[in-house]
């Protein structure tokens, strides 16, 4: 198994735990709203989101100091990883719950 596949599985398991035990907001508008209110700690965006929306999310994240993770999958796969039965364009993690996804993302990006 390659390290990229292991990383994707680890991301999915940590994201699933955060969705079950913490507080996550789903959708582009909710992510922008939570970043404006400075509630978000991490924003996850899939590869299938449009470049315009990606750049706006990254801009808001830069202004508010929120970490952004580019998910290696499309919106359907991101929704399934969160335990939802619908496409999820963006996931904003407000409280990670029992998951250590925020710390793990910061360590993996360095």
Residue 32's CATH number: 3.30.1330.30
Q: What tens digit of pLDDT does each residue of 32-72 get?
A: 999 999 999 999 999 999 999 999 999 999 999 999 999 98
Other residues' Cβ atoms within 10 Å of the Cβ of residue 55:
10
Domain count, the chain: 1
72 lies in which domain range? 3-108
Q: What is the pLDDT of residue 1?
A: 47
Task: Check pLDDT > 80 for residue 107.
Answer: no
Q: Which of 97, 103, 88 shows the shortest CA–CA distance to 17?
A: 97
Q: What is the CA radius of gyration of the chain?
A: 13
Q: What tens digit of pLDDT does each residue of 77-92 get?
A: 999 998 889 999 999 9
pTM for the model? 0.85
């Amino acid at each position: 198994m390659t390290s990229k596949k292991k990383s994707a599985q680890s991301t999915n398991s940590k994201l699933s735990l955060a969705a079950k035990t913490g507080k996550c907001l789903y959708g582009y508008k909710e992510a922008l709203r939570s970043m404006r209110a400075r509630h978000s700690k991490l924003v996850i965006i899939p590869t299938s989101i449009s470049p315009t929306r990606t750049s706006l999310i990254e801009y808001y994240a830069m202004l508010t100091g929120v970490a952004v993770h580019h998910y290696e999958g499309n919106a359907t796969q991101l929704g399934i990883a969160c335990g939802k039965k619908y496409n999820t364009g963006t996931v904003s993690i407000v409280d990670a719950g029992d998951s250590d996804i925020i710390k793990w993302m910061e360590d993996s990006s360095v």
